[in-house]
Structure 1
Amino acid sequence: MFFYQPIQLKNGQKCILRNAEASDAVRHHAYFVQTHKETDFLLTYPDECTLDIISLERQLKETKCSGTDVEICAFVDGKLVGSAGNSLIRNCDKMRHRVEFGISILKGYWGLGIGDALTKSCIECAKNAGFLQLELEVVSENENAIRLYKKHGFVEYGRNPRGFLSRDGHWQELVLMRLELDVSAK
């Protein structure tokens, strides 16, 4: 699925949203490690990046060629500062209508509108791919993300109080949210 869109950030900087390319693998790996160091709201720790550069190149290439999945990166002055994507939850008849959404942004770029633009772009891609429901899980303490998702029409449908077990032994509650794409939404 092809995606390209230039946007202007709240601080006036230009940002390019485009598909992740195989050639982005090295910087995508470094970006993954950095974003996962900057917040405890993401699924994994920085040392849990399991893909080597060759495998990441292959995955990014396959995602770009996919009719269902998408990985959109945000670049400011050529620097990868944000990434979001959709992935088919399961390829079977009863679940083929559902796609999972995930997003991360470098902390220095929070609050500039990148999350809003990436979310909107992934919603558009999910609709264009024919999905009927976009889903996500978010740490309940991540109030800014929850506000963003609600702005785009996501609704909470449940909570998992033992969603993440941190290495230090504390639980992080996950809020389960979904957006019905086959009804009028923002």
Structure 2
Amino acid sequence: MRIEARSYNIKGLEYTIRCAKPEDAHSLAEVRLQIDGETENLDRRRGEAYLEPEGFEALIKADTEKATNLLLVAEANDRIVGYSRCEGSPLSRMAHKVEFSVGVIQDYWGHGIGRQLLDHSVAWADETGIQKMTLQVIETNSKAIDMYKKVGFEIEGVLKRDRLLTDGNYYNTIVMGRFRL
């Protein structure tokens, strides 16, 4: 699925949100690896479940062809600095919804990149007829939780003691959903 590219200038940073292209595969592999090492807000630690550039190329191709998938990138300073993905299910009982995920390089936090990726994804889902978007977020990521609530996501549940972080403590995962307006 495709969306129109759109450029932004927020807090002095110019960036573009656009659909991923096959030639982005190598950069996406590097960016995901970097993001995984910069924050504990995501599921993976740096290097875990590493996706090779060839894997990203196949993912980009599949997401472009599937009506219920969308892979976006944020590009600034001639490099990819973030991405988001909506992934639908081939199962008929789950075909009405997509799972949303997002990641932004830490040096680019505070410029609205995550919010723009989210807004584009929500608009795409609504236009495509997707009835529900879901996501999971660690309980300590209050900025993300607040952002999701602002665009209509609600807390649907809590997965208790779901993530073990490097501090040796377990944390809850918040399950959120947004229904098409």
Give the TM-score taking structure 2 as reference length.
0.93
Q: Which residue of 1 aligns with 2:4?
A: 4
Give per-residue Cα distances to partners, 1:109-146, cap 9 Å, x unaligned: 11111111110000111122221000000000001101
SS at match of 1:64: helix
Q: 1:71-82 residue pairs with structure 2 within 5 A? A: 71-82=71-82
Q: Which residue of 1 aligns with 2:176?
A: 177
Q: Which residue of 1 aligns with 2:161?
A: 162
Q: Which consecutive residues of structure 1, in runs of 5 or more, have no partner in the other structure?
A: none
Q: Which residue of 2 aligns with 1:111?
A: 110
Contact 1:3 1:17 (C-alpha < 8 Å) held by counterparts: no
Given residue 144 of structure 1, which amino acid in structure 2 is its aligned partner?
K
Given residue 91 of structure 1, which amino acid in structure 2 is its aligned partner?
P
Q: Which consecutive residues of structure 2, in runs of 5 or more, have no partner in the other structure?
A: none
Q: What is the Cα deviation at residue 167 of structure 1?
A: 5.8
Tell me which stretches of 4 or more aligned residues in structure 1 moved more than 4 Å: none
Instruction: Name the CA shift for 1:21/1:49 in 2 (closer, same or farther; >3 Å).
Output: farther
- Does 2:113 match 1:87? no
Give per-residue Cα distances to partners, 1:124-171, cap 9 Å, x unaligned: 111222210000000000011011101111111111112223366421
Q: Which residue of 1 aligns with 2:142?
A: 143
Contact 1:81 1:105 (C-alpha < 8 Å) held by counterparts: yes
Indicate the RMSD between aligned Cα atoms, in angstroms. Answer: 1.5
Given residue 95 of structure 1, which amino acid in structure 2 is its aligned partner?
M
- Does 2:64 match 1:67? no
Given residue 135 of structure 2, which amino acid in structure 1 is its aligned partner?
L
Q: Which residue of 1 aligns with 2:133?
A: 134
Q: Which residue of 1 aligns with 2:23?
A: 23
Given residue 60 of structure 1, which amino acid in structure 2 is its aligned partner?
I
Give the TM-score taking structure 1 as reference length.
0.91
Which stretch of the first structure deviates more once superposed, 108-117 or 44-53? 44-53
Q: For the residues of structure 2 that align with 1:114 and 1:165, how far apart are their CA atoms? A: 27
Q: Which residue of 2 aligns with 1:50?
A: 50
Q: What is the Cα deviation at residue 73 of structure 1?
A: 0.2
Aligned pair count reads: 181
SS at match of 1:29: helix
Q: What is the Cα deviation at residue 74 of structure 1?
A: 0.3
Give per-residue Cα distances to partners, 1:20-75, cap 9 Å, x unaligned: 11111111111011101110010111211332222221111111222110010000
